[in-house]
Structure 1
Amino acid sequence: MWKSATRSLATAALVSAPKLQDVVIIGGGPAGLSLLAALKNSHKTKHLKCTLVEGSNLDPIRDFGMDPPENYTNRVVSLTPKSVEFMQEKIGSWDFINLDRIKFYDGIRAYDGQDNSSRISFDGTTTGSGVLAAMSENINIQSSLISKIEQLNDEIIDEEEDQPAIILDNTKVIDIEDPLNAQHTHSHSDLNEIDPSAGDEALDWPIIKLDNGEALQARLLVGADGYNSPVRKFARIESRGWQYDRWGVVGTIKMQFEDYRALGWQRFLSTGPLAILPLTDDNATFVWSSTPELAELLLKVDEVIFPHLLTAAMTLEEVDLQYIYKTLQNNPNDRSVLEDISWRLSKKDISDLEENYPLPVTELVPGSRARFPLKLSHADTYMAPRIALVGDAAHTIHPLAGQGLNMGQSDVGHLVQALEKGVDRGMDIGSTLVLENYVADAWPSNHMILGACDKLHKIFAVQWTPFVYLRGFGIKTLNSLGYVKDLMVQTISGK
């Protein structure tokens, strides 16, 4: 008898009943942190018990706010005016952003690598602010969000009325269970011991098991956990799309001097688009979409050669670039290409270079080059009972329009709005009746943006000469239709 009782007590000590939470967010990227901050900043939802779980260590992000590195990191995004406004007004995190590392720019110039005269320009006059977008490091955004969450926690007077936000970093999810279907050790009485008011309602709340031995049971589980989202797989939500057989190479660079024009530049090459976007002072960032073979070469090219290669790729004819690539494939450290690039650039008209192209690139920040595969994916829906998806867990997009993070911010805004309505009406925030409003608002617009970017990529990938001429005619025509361009800018910026 005593042996049996001892064994039962030991088992009970090893198994802890799950902690009931209103919202559990998996993923500490910009989307997950934005959702947590927005929920705790809203007077309608700040009473909810919210926990965010992140597998990595967030201390470097916290440290960024106090002591940012001298050079820019290579994960940089373009924020639309709508996203900036959301961070200012709905979340309140903009007060904590490091503005010294934010670059507002006024326009973008895009042109065809097969025909440099085929150009289109966009500017921010139609957004009402005169600004097209703002460049920011991901870490700057995340740091501001964590600072805002910590401020909100510090301001809590009554923890019974306003629940503090909990962030569990360095904590991995090891399993997600459906208590109605899975065999687990937690009985109905265990749940009632934690929160008697929950009653039978909590029986269908998903259980999230963590590697620290804890378990959480969520009224609403939100997947902000990226392209390979375990939350999406748990909910059995299908995600459809394809790989582009292209890689994005990114890095931080120095320009010849600070460009007073405050412009972003994009050239559609046969291998994929190349964008150079401004940062503060003489800093800039680049995103070079390329074939797998070229992407591998771009990572190997000598750091002294690489800036000149970037300048050449934004300026020279494709036939010239193919010759340079071939030389570097034989030897990525062959500095004889520097003379070749200089000679070819000398044939260009100086006034044309100054007016229609970005400034020369002078330096690659050491260690800043990286690559990632390009893909498109879109979940069939963003919800299931007690499940919601945001950010890359719901969709991934080609970076040519810089919409990835902005779509995630839009998801968060729509989800918070749906949850606020649910709270106002006294509804269960994990119910499909509440979450359907989120999907109805977020999914169609995201689908439109995904489709537009995919078609742009495919249009500029075609190199058949008659089609190139037709494409150039279309670009020039579109560039002359100011009202159409204004509509495009307003749609993307949300203004």
Structure 2
Amino acid sequence: MFGAVRRLATAAASAQVSRLQDVVIVGGGPAGLSLLAALKSSHKTRHLKCTLVEGGSLDNIRTFGEDPPENYTNRVVSLTPQSVEFMQERIGSWQYINQDRIKFYSSIVAYDSQEKDARIQFDASMTDGNGVLAVMCENINIQSLLLSRIDEIGDSTILDNTKVLDIVHPNKPEINHDLTAEPQTTSPGLDWPIVQLSNGESIQTRLLVGADGYNSPVRKFSGIESRGWQYGRFGVVATIKLQYEDYRSIGWQRFLTTGPLAILPLTEDNATIVWSSTPELSDILLKVTPEIFVHLVNAAMTLDEVDLNYIYGVLKKDPTDTSVLEEIEWRMSKIKLSELEEKYPLPVSEVIDKSRARFPLKMSHADTYVAPRVALIGDAAHTIHPLAGQGLNMGQSDVAGLVEALEKGVERGMDIGSTLVLESYVSNTWPANSMLLGVCDKLHKIFSTDFYPLVLLRGIGMKSLNMLDVVKDLMVKSMAR
């Protein structure tokens, strides 16, 4: 649809009076809000006329800072020190973070379900991140701090509860125009794309930015291809409570053949889980009672996969069969208490009501992030397996790269929508993103098999790697960027 509209502009679009803007950002997630805040925080780009369009409501985000919910939401992300620094130094938004709902952690322990002694620990002391490997933070907390920063600066427009109905090109794409002129009224002769909105408004923009997710209408309009695949797996998320607060500040991840299960610390006795699983298992995890779910998480972090598969089989027939509780307790009793305390996370005691949800896992990457007068950031440009927790951080890197390119364009008096300005954004971000996407994809495939020769090799690899501090240093520094 958008490709056809791109080639053949409608008469209605050219006749409609449009408001001119320098930048229109579609999408009010962390990437879109970060870009708006960064543009308005930079003395080089703050003069640009900017509008952000979001299809949903931002009301709950606006009220989060003053009246957060009692329990953590189930959309929690891991921020690297570099992302935090970007919010502190370049955007100036970190001062608005709800400090009571973030958790700094200093270590990650990853281990293999097929090889008992195959585990590796990454420690923040290997980095220059002031003893911090990452920061656990709710998505809504990030959006809230960015909105607060945008409100503080002013001089920009946010249209929420407003959907993009269409994106079209004007009828006359090629005329000369004054790049230094203040955008005030429409000019159908410009080659700027026209964004038609559900509120009846039409905006013609020098640069259109897609921060609108995997099914990005902006990407479809631009004609940029995105390639990748579905993993045939689902990520199950939930907010949980531990038996007590874990002062070790460790993030735990166990590689199961169905997919990795991660337990990541939050403040006090709170934690969040991301459990990558098969469609069949994810369905079970959503259907079982809260009590069974809690025991399943504890079992999945400790028991052999033979035991787990037996338990899954029982629950497949009846997700409410409480006999599995005795089965899990009996099998767990065979593990020494000292081993449980030393090698595994604290037991889960509760799952927060209505916090369980699932989403399909996929990998995708756009062939490029730019087209004439179009740029893509965040999930519109790439989606990644959550096993490394890098999705949001990649989006922040996109924002930093795009803002840098636009600043250079403004300094040189160039048209910020031209590919001459935008190409440096692609060259500085696409290769690193592609490498990270490839690494996560290969890790998923390597650890989601029970083929014994490969299990043996990966076990040897993990044990050997754990003894090579120099290599671990490089990996940790890469993860923390």
TM-score bucket of the superposed structures, by smaller chain: over 0.9
Residue 161 of structure 2 is aligned to residue 170 of structure 1: yes
Q: Which moved more, 1:236-245 or 1:173-182?
A: 173-182
* Partner in structure 2 of residue 40 of structure 1: 40
Tell me which residue corresponds to 1:357.
344
Is residue 422–residue 434 contact of structure 1 (8 Å, CA) maintained in 2?
yes
Who is 2:136 aligned against?
135
State how far apart, in whole Å, the 2-side matches of 1:263 and 1:366 are: 25
Contact 2:36–2:52 (CA<8 Å) still a contact in 1?
yes
Backbone CA RMSD of aligned residues: 2.1
Q: What 5-or-longer segments of structure 1 have no aligned partner?
A: 1-10, 154-163, 183-187
1:198-213 to 2 correspondences below 5 Å: 203-213=190-200
Between Structure 1 and Structure 2, the one with more helix by share is 1
Tell me: CA distance 1:66–1:202, structure 2 relative to 1, closer, same or farther (3 Å): farther
Q: What secondary structure does 1:219 align onto? A: strand
- 2:65 is paired with a residue whose SS is helix
CA shift for structure 1 position 196:
8.0
Alignment partner of 1:239 is 2:239: no
Q: CA deviation at 1:281?
A: 0.3
The residue that corresponds to 1:339 in the other structure is 326
Cα shift readout 1:157-180 (whole Å, capped 9, x = no counterpart): xxxxxxx11100000000000114
Please state whether the residue corresponding to 1:468 is helix, strand or coil. helix
Given that 2:20 and 2:183 are in contact with CA atoms closer than 8 Å, whether structure 1 keeps it comes out as no
The SS at the match of 1:242 is: strand
Aligned to 2:97: 97
State how far apart, in whole Å, the 2-side matches of 1:201 and 1:120 are.
Answer: 60
Matched, 1:471 2:458: yes
Counterpart AA for 1:87 = M
Aligned-partner residue type, residue 81 of structure 1: P
1:389 to 376, 379, 390: 376
Q: Indicate which of 406, 420, 428 corresponds to 1:441.
A: 428
Partners of 2:275 and 2:150 in 1: how far apart?
A: 35
CA distance in structure 1 between the partners assigned to 2:189 and 2:340 by the alignment: 65
Tell me, yes or no, if the aligned pair for 2:17 and 2:186 is still in contact at 8 Å. Answer: no
User: Letter of the aligned partner of 2:96 in structure 1?
Assistant: F
Structure 1 residues 436-476: Cα deviation after superposition (integer angstroms, max 9, x where no partner): 01000010000000000000001111211121111100111
1:257-406 → structure 2 map (5 Å cutoff): 257-406=244-393
Within a 5 Å distance, the mapping from 1:46-57 to structure 2 comes to 46-57=46-57
SS at match of 2:86: helix
Cα distance in 2 for residues equivalent to 1:467 and 1:77:
31
1:202–1:219 contact (8 Å) kept in structure 2: no
Larger Rg, first or second structure (1 or 2): 1
CA contact (8 A) 2:172 2:189 kept: no
Residue 116 of structure 1: CA displacement?
2.0
Alignment of 1:175-186 (within 5 A): 175-180=166-171
Pairwise CA distance, 1:126: 2.5
Q: Is the 8 A contact 1:16 1:214 kept in 2?
A: no
Q: For residue 335 of structure 1, report the CA deviation from its aligned partner.
A: 1.4
Alignment-mate amino acid for residue 115 of structure 1: E
What percent of counterpart residues are identical? 69
Q: Does 1:214 align with 2:205?
A: no
Q: Distance in 1 between matches of 2:55 and 2:196?
A: 13
User: Aligned partner of 2:29: which letter?
Assistant: G
Determine the C-alpha separation between the residues in 1 that align with 2:426 and 2:237: 32
SS of 1:265's partner is strand
Question: How far apart are the structure 2 equivalents of 1:200 and 1:360?
Answer: 63
* C-alpha distance after superposition, 1:124-162 (max 9, x if no partner): 113211110000000000000000000111xxxxxxxxx
**Secondary structure of the structure 2 residue equivalent to 1:115:** coil
Whether contact under 8 Å (2:238, 2:355) holds in the other structure is yes
Counterparts of 2:172 and 2:136, CA distance in 1? 46
**Aligned residue type for 1:363:** E
Contact 2:34 2:146 in 1 (8 A): yes
Q: Give the whole-Å Cα distance in 2 for the aligned partners of 1:372 and 1:39.
A: 32
Instruction: Say whether 1:412 aligns with 2:403.
Output: no
- Give the aligned partner of residue 185 of structure 1: none
Q: CA contact under 8 A between 1:378 and 1:447: conserved in structure 2?
A: yes
**Residue pair 1:105, 1:262 contacting (<8 A) in 2 also:** yes
Paired residues of 1:110 and 1:265 also in contact (CA < 8 A): yes
Cα 1:71–1:304 shift into 2, 3 Å: same
What is the SS of the residue equivalent to 1:104? strand
CA distance in 2, matches of 1:125, 1:28: 35
SS at match of 1:143: helix
Q: Deviation at 1:199?
A: 9.8
1:422 — aligned with what?
Answer: 409
Alignment of 1:60 with 2:51, yes or no, is no
